[in-house]
Amino acid sequence: MDIQAELISIGNELLSGRTLNTHGRDLGAALSAIGLHLVRDTTVPDETATIEAATADALARVDIVFVSGGLGPTVDDITRDALARLLDRRIVTHQPTLDHLGAWYARRGRTITPAGARQALVLEGAVVLSNSVGAAPGERIDLPLGKTLFVLPGPPNEFNAVLGEEIIPWLKTRHAGVRPKLVRIVQTRGIGESDIVTRLEAAGFQPEGIALGFYPGMGRVEIRLTASAEQEAEIAQAEECLLDLLGDHLDTTG
């Protein structure tokens, strides 16, 4: 079963280069570990129409969509508004989050401001996901046809907290029958990527149903074999074949 997901990251600061966007890397790794696949990573500006269009397009393609960013207290935090318009839902206050924010401000001798209280706003009908390291919670919105929309805060520590503590456990239960793909890695040194390909082609190395990836860098080339969970014998055979073909250039330094 191939469960696919897409990520939409929102923020002018990501597109301008001011902020490094690490969400695709972190989400891709977390999903792969449980057998799900991130198939597209899109970054869009803080524009309501663009957010709407990107989310609608993603929901038309895949069953799971992640939207991150734009949940803070400032005027450019418009993700809720865009999604509310797309899904034709009201924006409501999540009282437990508002109470939490009020207590957080009080402990610091402050009174919560209307801008701060905006972080307790969620889409009507959403399942609110706890944010253990920040203010704005995440949201899970269950949609028709079995589709799911997750809304997460943008700061990486908050994104990963909601993802790891709330979303991944739910997805593991929801897709309990899905198994991660098998991965085998062969490291080489002292031989270029094109020379490796030439050697493999000359030997007729084309393992059926197994994806090959080549990742050069720092004088090494990593060859990654990826196969379905049912192809354990096939991927083992392919790995052994690679080791034989490239035995004079294997990197055993770890």
CA distance 43 to 252: 39
Question: Does residue 208 sit within a domain?
Answer: yes
Instruction: Please give the pLDDT value at position 254.
Output: 61
Question: Does residue 78 sit within a domain?
Answer: yes
The CATH number of whichever domain residue 240 belongs to comes to 3.30.70.2860
Question: Do 217 and 234 belong together in one domain?
Answer: yes
Question: Does residue 101 sit within a domain?
Answer: yes
Instruction: Please give the pLDDT value at position 55.
Output: 98
The CATH number of whichever domain residue 117 belongs to comes to 3.40.980.10
CA distance 235 to 33: 18
Question: Do 104 and 188 belong together in one domain?
Answer: no
Question: Do 82 and 144 belong together in one domain?
Answer: yes
Q: Is 135 left (phi over 0), alpha (psi -120 to 50) or beta?
A: alpha
Question: Does residue 92 sit within a domain?
Answer: yes
CA distance 10 to 59: 16
- Point out the domain boundary residue: 122, 151, 174: 174
Question: Do 188 and 170 belong together in one domain?
Answer: no
CA distance 78 to 81: 5
- Residue 22 to residues 83, 156, 215: CA-CA distances in angstroms? 23, 7, 19
CA distance 109 to 246: 66
CA gyration radius, the chain: 22
Question: Do 119 and 190 belong together in one domain?
Answer: no
**One pLDDT digit (tens) per residue for the chain, 254 residues:** 789 999 999 999 999 999 999 999 999 999 999 999 999 999 999 999 999 999 999 999 999 999 999 999 988 899 999 999 999 999 999 999 999 999 988 998 999 999 999 999 999 999 999 999 998 999 999 999 999 999 999 999 999 999 999 999 999 999 999 999 999 999 999 999 999 999 999 999 999 999 999 999 988 999 999 999 899 999 999 999 999 999 999 987 76
Task: Determine the angle formed by the axes of helices 48-61 and 79-87, rounding to 10 degrees.
Answer: 50
Question: Do 208 and 147 belong together in one domain?
Answer: no
Question: With a threshold of 0.85, does the pTM exceed it?
Answer: yes
Which structural domain, as residue segments, surrounds residue 215? 182-249
Number of domains the chain contains: 2
- Point out the domain boundary residue: 174, 205, 225: 174
Question: Do 164 and 199 belong together in one domain?
Answer: no
Question: Do 149 and 211 belong together in one domain?
Answer: no
Q: What digits encode the pLDDT tens for the residues 24-45?
A: 999 999 999 999 999 999 999 9
Question: Does residue 203 sit within a domain?
Answer: yes
- Point out the domain boundary residue: 174, 193, 218: 174
Question: Do 136 and 236 belong together in one domain?
Answer: no
Question: Do 38 and 150 belong together in one domain?
Answer: yes
Question: Do 104 and 147 belong together in one domain?
Answer: yes
DSSP string, the chain: ---EEEEEEE-HHHHTTSS---HHHHHHHHHHTTT-EEEEEEEE-S-HHHHHHHHHHHHHH-SEEEEES--SSSTT--HHHHHHHHHT--EEE-HHHHHHHHHHHHHTT----HHHHGGGEEETTPEEE--TTSSSPEEEEE-GGG-EEEEE-SSHHHHHHHIIIIIHHHHHHHTTT--PPEEEEEEEESS-HHHHHHHHHHTT---TT-EEEEEEETTEEEEEEEE-TT-HHHHHHHHHHHHHHTGGGB----
Q: What digits encode the pLDDT tens for the residues 53-90?
A: 999 999 999 999 999 999 999 888 999 999 999 999 99
Question: Does residue 66 sit within a domain?
Answer: yes
Question: Do 144 and 36 belong together in one domain?
Answer: yes
Question: Does residue 254 sit within a domain?
Answer: no
Q: Look at strands 148-152 and 4-10 and give their pairing.
A: unpaired
